[in-house]
Structure 1
Amino acid sequence: MDTNNNHIPNQIMPPAPGTSTKLNSNDVCTIIQQMNYCYDQNKTVYCELEIQNKKKWKPIESSDFIAFVQTYFKTAYYKVLKQSDIKNLIPILNLLALNNGKQVEVYNRIGRLGDDIFIETQNTNDDIIKITPEEWSITQNSPVIFKRFTHQTSIPTPVTGGSLDDLFSIFSITNPDEQILIGTWLVSSLFTNMPRPHLWFVGEKGSGKTTLALSLKKLIDPVSRGNFMYRNTSEMAQVIDHHAVPFFDNFTKINIEISDLLCAAFTGTDFTKRKQYTNDDDFTFSIKKPIILASISLGNPASDLLDRCIVIEKSKNDRKTIPEEMLMKAFEEKKPRIIGGILDAAVETLRTYRDIEVSDYIRLADFQRIGIAAAQALGFTREQFETALTNNLRTKGILKLQSFPVASLVIKFMENNEFWEGTMIDLQNELMDIADDPHLVNSNPSILSRNLKDCKDILEQANLQVMSGSNGSNGRKYFIRRITTNDSTDYIDYIIED
């Protein structure tokens, strides 16, 4: 069965004869089987319903499907069906759909079909935004299937000819690099067929990072608030699956399992969990999402996660001194124009991004290509975008070193050394001698040892390796040596002076 063609079937249940003929359960089953069914990768079966003259796809286990069938039979055959009557037929309909139906991809808020992008607004008109390389428009009947969740809210009707300048003005985003990176990230988030970087806001309390991050999410996948970071990968995978653009706030540390999951969400992965503990059925979350993060500091992220992120540093000085209520009121008023500006840029990006040639990738190769097209669509130049991306590497390196001051001291200590050998106490003394503030070096040797393990990836970026040796009369010996690698140091080698 071909699963690559995501066009959904176009057949629907034929009109009923409108007679009062008595129907038995077999007749009911036969009529319901004439409806149009398909199923997704989790073998969840959907049925096409016509509600208020609009075609909608609903899971057959949903209340919408049951209500539709009840209304249909009451209107057409004057027969009242109990909910249990319909539920008893669901196993038969499931088997029918899986044997004879078509597998399609079911999308969360944003869908892609060929060169066209579809966005479900979830407003009262059930409007669908359709983006093509020629234009964007509003339609009601979507050729792709969307799944909805109760936490999601509606997108306002966008305005043609809008601009992201309103967004930058409201949130005091005056740095050109930040304007370019935020703008191109917003446009690229609509391209579900390619890896899109995560957007990570770092800043002190009161810098407005959470307000800005949540506002960006509301432009594409509006919800009332963000989510906390879970330690359990199963819970995290479910949250990521349930959002088109997940947003995690108020966390101080990302453990290695969650870091790996966030990395996998960049390129795309399937996460499988049991549907119920009483059977062997599995449920698969297909995760390929651009994620928004907001935290006071980077904490201790693995380098491979940081490589998949755009990091924006915010401070209290970046924020306008106006009440948040007034800030959000201005944002809500300008939101249709801002969304319109994103859509206008997306049209131009769809038209041109395949023609972009990149010979020297900085990082985030897929994003770099589409980012160039998006930047030009937003009125920036290719050179401005590539400069912003390069500068962001520097920002990430500085923030990472700030999270681990001991790494900066070790790098500084080894500037003129190829090899060092000694105990943790010896290393403490060496680092204290060169530290402007000796308190940056923990007085407990075991804690210093753990800190070195935590910043292992930073030191490796600086071509340094820390190894433990055998126990001696004065304690365990450690070795620090300079290593040769083909991987460039990217940002570590030129930020130490900062």
Structure 2
Amino acid sequence: MITTENKIVKKFVEEYVFNVIPVRSDKKAIADKEYTRWFIELWLEPIANGQNIGVVLGKISQNLICFDIDAHELYEFLKHYEGQTFIVKSGKKGYHVYFRLYDIPLLYSGAKIIKDGKTIELFLKNRFMVLPPSFIVGYSEQAYEIISDVPVKQLSRTEFDGILKMFLDNKFKIEKTKVTDSSTGKSKARKSTNDLETEDWAVGIRYDNGRDLALRQFHSGWEYEKIEQYAINKNSSLTAPADNDHVIEWVQAGQRIYKGNLESDNGFFKSTEDFLNGNQDDIPKPDAVIFEKAMKLAETCDKKEALKELVEFNKTLDAPYNNIKLEKFLAVAIKQIKDKINKRFAPKKEKGTERQMRAFQVGREVIQEQVRNENDTEQVVVKVFRNDRPIWTDLKSPSFEQILRVKIQNDFGAIHGDSIYRDAIKNLHAQVLLGDIETKKIYKVCAMEEGILYYNTNDEQGTIYKVSKDEITKIHDDESQPIFLKKQNIQAQINRDVQFDGPFTIKDFSKLCRIQEHDRMIFESHVICEFLKNIPVPIMIPHGEQGSAKTSISNGVKYLVDPEIENSLSMPEDVDDIAVTMSKREISSFDNIDQIKKIVSDFLCRTVTGTQHPKRKLYTDGEEFNLILKEKIILNGITPSLDQPDLVERSIFYELLKIEKTERMTDAEVSEKLDAMRPSVVGFALQTIQKAMLIFDDVNEEIKKQLPRMASFAVWGEAISRVLGNEDNKFLDAYCDKLEMSNLNLSEEYLIITPILNHMQTKLTQDVTMTVSQLYEIVAPQNDYGKRNSEMPQDVRLFGKQLKQIAPVMRAMNYDIEVSTYNKNDGVFVRGNKIVKIVNVCE
């Protein structure tokens, strides 16, 4: 992908087909430690606007080569190519003249073209050139600029050799530069045919080795079909095989060089293709007259008669060939005729770039609409048709690739390798991000917009329920509806119907989950709130001893709202992985949690109320992508071992009793009951929300001065509770009591709480203000031996940290606790000291 503002990069990539890479500003070097990687791989990451850039030469940029000219008088020899090919004026007033070759010599990376101490360097591969408008500090006298802004000219082998001959005719000396081995710095030795046939080729050298071996086989008289089949078999034996499209590319490249060797007496290439270990005498030099005669005889006679007549014709020449060479001439002629016939009647073998372009163009046709996800700035979501019905899917998803594969197979009868589709989709993604694309919120199951709730059933018909104050309606593919991403990991066999006024209600679901009687009112409102969107919903934590069906209940709630193939997950250790996991689900249910690290606890707190999380970046700092999260979470474990007060305040614990043996059900029995219950309970939940919408504003106004920390949830929970027939404020009181009990349970984790409470009860005033150090000596005094209780904080710094952590717990006990820095200079406290203020807020 490429940054949207960088129009020059877009031009070079799309119009000129360059492999553009970022370049450092302080020296001519690729801005990446793995710089050699980009000689064989496309750079697909974003490049920031203003970043220096360069282009990689060689096959990765469609056989791009460059003449690097550092003197103006030498440029006169190639100046006539202005307007014919792409030319750049370099930062030191030199010139870069670019061409493309059909094939690049195997053993040479370039050449030095020298005259009178001045040099033109020809670079063929394993090199990059700086592109405009770059400026290298300490090197460039001015920014690089384009002086001939046209596509790169394609040179035939003859045209390329003609340029070199022009330099030789003008008394230049040409010194070829061999490809060097990076491990030794020495020129690479030519591999023997036996080595090529027996070695396991690494990924970066498969193409060159395959092309070299195919070239030798062509010159040894092998037929094309035999060489292609040999190459496919060889490829399948490699540790890291390529797809067959890539194999055919290297065979065809060997064939092109072979034909060029027969048709051209080209010195630069000839010396690089010494396929017969340097014995060039074994290659027939096709004299135009006798070769033309061999072609005519091959077309009209059988081989024996044609050779006989060719021998007679050879006798009439001033410099006749020996019979062995005549046989080779005839063999080449016969083969060329066969190739023409095969080419005429056989289907065209497309180049890899042609297949990629086709996949890219078909992808553009398949996409009906495209948007960028507001909550995931890297994600592009596209509207496509599947089974004659529009769906929204991630551009990089398996679903989109499958649609693209089927389209190409049906329309063109073609089956391509994975790399063709992968590269086409990467380019589609880059093009979308480069364009002026609209950004919208993308939803998974539930959406809330302008006071209207939308619930996506994810059935095959694309059914969505629209819940407003006035009514509940069933919609399909409504242009005005929010965008829901088609889920990949859903269970096909789930009954996704929604039944209103059915036989089951939320109370039946609560009983099936074995929620204790005193918790059912809160649990039922909590479950229905899981269908809402854009409000913070407390983490649901079923807990209890082994055999209390914690996992079954967690799975049941997840299955009710957002059913998937796997309804419970193990929590990843890394926060980045947790973020990605939650971003793909409506509800994330994590199983068997025994403890939570502080960093994870803090992240879960932010995720419940809403946070922006940077996504992991690769290879570049050019552009940062972000996930915007406000998630619904279920955790379950044997005991509520959360010792982080902020996380406790954002959670609701449901203690489960152990199930007696006589009351146990198998997993199959539980699933059967859930399947039967789900349509009615979902319908009941949506109806309840619709009725709660009618009274929400009144409830909010009535209780707004009594709200706990999760205020929006408390209002919705109270409104839903009233719709379910409970007394006014009964839910709110029960919820606040539950929060208070959860906080009180934390006093066992923080031993400083009890002595602070004892100290406050001895005071006649409602508040106490002192330094943190003074309170520390009261709470954790030293004994006669200068030691403190080993379970207390062992220094005042840790004590001050715990004072901040226990603030939610103290609030539940009717005390506000505040730690601050004293900034006055009035002599009451030393300026700069840490001060703690504790206020009794009990009315």
TM-score under structure 2 length normalisation: 0.46
Between 1:373-382 and 1:413-422, the stretch displaced more is 413-422
2:806 counterpart residue number = 458
2:675 counterpart residue number = 332
Q: Shift of the alpha carbon at 1:110?
A: 2.1
Q: Give me the whole-angstrom Cα distance separating, in 2, the residues matched to 1:428 and 1:210.
A: 48
Q: Does 1:218 align with 2:559?
A: yes
Q: 2:443 aligns with which of 93, 97, 107?
A: 107
After superposition, residues 272-311 of structure 1 pair within 5 angstroms as 272-277=614-619, 280=622, 282-311=624-653
Alpha carbons 1:184, 1:371 under 8 Å: kept: yes
Q: Shift of the alpha carbon at 1:168?
A: 2.2
After superposition, residues 310-329 of structure 1 pair within 5 angstroms as 310-316=652-658, 321-325=663-667, 326-329=669-672
Q: Shift of the alpha carbon at 1:93?
A: 3.3
Q: CA RMSD in A?
A: 4.0
Alpha carbons 1:346, 1:374 under 8 Å: kept: yes
Q: Does 1:121 align with 2:457?
A: yes
Q: Which has the higher contact order (CA 8 A, sep 6+)?
A: 1
Q: Shift of the alpha carbon at 1:370?
A: 1.7
Q: 2:373 aligns with which of 17, 23, 40?
A: 40
Q: 2:729 aligns with which of 373, 383, 395?
A: 383
Question: Structure 1 79/100 Cα, relative in aligned 2: closer, same or farther at 3 Å?
Answer: farther
After superposition, residues 88-487 of structure 1 pair within 5 angstroms as 88-90=423-425, 93-98=428-433, 99-141=435-477, 143-147=481-485, 150-153=488-491, 156=495, 157-161=497-501, 162-176=504-518, 178-223=519-564, 224-277=566-619, 280=622, 282-316=624-658, 321-325=663-667, 326-356=669-699, 357=701, 358-363=703-708, 364-404=710-750, 407-408=753-754, 411-412=757-758, 415-416=761-762, 445-449=789-793, 456=803, 457-458=805-806, 460-461=810-811, 462=815, 483-485=837-839
- Deviation string, structure 1 residues 356-404 (Cα, Å, up to 9, x no partner): 3133133121112222222222222332212212221232133323455
- Deviation string, structure 1 residues 49-107 (Cα, Å, up to 9, x no partner): 111221012233334334434444555x5564746555554455335534243222222
Q: Give me the whole-angstrom Cα distance separating, in 1, the residues matched to 2:499 and 2:684.
A: 8
1:19 counterpart residue number = none
Question: Structure 1 416/172 Cα, relative in aligned 2: closer, same or farther at 3 Å?
Answer: same
Q: Give me the whole-angstrom Cα distance separating, in 2, the residues matched to 1:208 and 1:428.
A: 48
Q: Give me the whole-angstrom Cα distance separating, in 2, the residues matched to 1:91 and 1:453.
A: 52
Question: Structure 1 57/317 Cα, relative in aligned 2: closer, same or farther at 3 Å?
Answer: closer
Q: Give me the whole-angstrom Cα distance separating, in 2, the residues matched to 1:341 and 1:216.
A: 14
User: Alignment partner of 1:179: what SS?
Assistant: helix
Q: Give me the whole-angstrom Cα distance separating, in 2, the residues matched to 1:96 and 1:375.
A: 50
Question: Structure 1 393/91 Cα, relative in aligned 2: closer, same or farther at 3 Å?
Answer: closer
2:387 counterpart residue number = 52
Alpha carbons 1:274, 1:281 under 8 Å: kept: no
Alpha carbons 1:173, 1:318 under 8 Å: kept: no
User: Alignment partner of 1:276: what SS?
Assistant: coil
Q: Give me the whole-angstrom Cα distance separating, in 2, the residues matched to 1:410 and 1:400.
A: 15
Q: Shift of the alpha carbon at 1:219?
A: 1.0
Q: Shift of the alpha carbon at 1:240?
A: 2.1
User: Alignment partner of 1:291: what SS?
Assistant: strand
Q: Shift of the alpha carbon at 1:192?
A: 1.5
Alpha carbons 1:463, 1:482 under 8 Å: kept: no
Between 1:60-69 and 1:419-428, the stretch displaced more is 419-428
Q: Which runs of 5+ in 2 are unaligned?
A: 1-347, 769-773, 820-834
Q: Give me the whole-angstrom Cα distance separating, in 1, the residues matched to 2:550 and 2:758.
A: 32
- Deviation string, structure 1 residues 439-490 (Cα, Å, up to 9, x no partner): xxxx994344369789643375456799xxxxxxxxxxxxxx984238x58x
User: Alignment partner of 1:206: what SS?
Assistant: coil
The one-letter amino acid of 2:704's match is S
Q: Give me the whole-angstrom Cα distance separating, in 2, the residues matched to 1:307 and 1:222.
A: 27
Question: Structure 1 169/201 Cα, relative in aligned 2: closer, same or farther at 3 Å?
Answer: closer
Q: Give me the whole-angstrom Cα distance separating, in 2, the residues matched to 1:225 and 1:74.
A: 35
Q: Give me the whole-angstrom Cα distance separating, in 2, the residues matched to 1:320 and 1:343.
A: 35
Question: Structure 1 31/241 Cα, relative in aligned 2: closer, same or farther at 3 Å?
Answer: closer
Q: Shift of the alpha carbon at 1:293?
A: 2.0
Question: What is the percentage of aligned positions where both structures have the same residue?
Answer: 18
Q: Shift of the alpha carbon at 1:316?
A: 3.0
Q: Shift of the alpha carbon at 1:426?
A: 5.6
Q: Does 1:68 align with 2:403?
A: yes
Q: Give me the whole-angstrom Cα distance separating, in 1, the residues matched to 2:383 and 2:461.
A: 18
Q: Give me the whole-angstrom Cα distance separating, in 2, the residues matched to 1:250 and 1:60.
A: 34
Question: Structure 1 204/110 Cα, relative in aligned 2: closer, same or farther at 3 Å?
Answer: same
Q: Shift of the alpha carbon at 1:160?
A: 1.0
Question: Structure 1 396/273 Cα, relative in aligned 2: closer, same or farther at 3 Å?
Answer: same
Between 1:55-64 and 1:139-148, the stretch displaced more is 139-148
Q: Give me the whole-angstrom Cα distance separating, in 2, the residues matched to 1:322 and 1:188.
A: 29
Question: Structure 1 181/79 Cα, relative in aligned 2: closer, same or farther at 3 Å?
Answer: same
Alpha carbons 2:510, 2:524 under 8 Å: kept: no
Larger radius of gyration: 2
Q: Shift of the alpha carbon at 1:123?
A: 3.9
Q: Shift of the alpha carbon at 1:261?
A: 0.9
Q: Give me the whole-angstrom Cα distance separating, in 2, the residues matched to 1:370 and 1:194.
A: 9
- Deviation string, structure 1 residues 230-271 (Cα, Å, up to 9, x no partner): 442212222222221112232233222112111111221111
Report the number of matched residues.
Answer: 441
Q: Shift of the alpha carbon at 1:411?
A: 3.7
Q: Which runs of 5+ in 1 are unaligned?
A: 1-21, 430-442, 467-480, 494-498
Q: Give me the whole-angstrom Cα distance separating, in 1, the residues matched to 2:716 and 2:662.
A: 32
1:476 counterpart residue number = none
Q: Give me the whole-angstrom Cα distance separating, in 2, the residues matched to 1:406 and 1:310.
A: 25
TM-score under structure 1 length normalisation: 0.74
Alpha carbons 1:298, 1:403 under 8 Å: kept: no
Q: Give me the whole-angstrom Cα distance separating, in 2, the residues matched to 1:403 and 1:444.
A: 18
The one-letter amino acid of 2:403's match is F
The one-letter amino acid of 1:221's match is D
1:8 counterpart residue number = none
Alpha carbons 1:298, 1:399 under 8 Å: kept: no
The one-letter amino acid of 1:360's match is K
Q: Give me the whole-angstrom Cα distance separating, in 1, the residues matched to 2:563 and 2:754.
A: 40
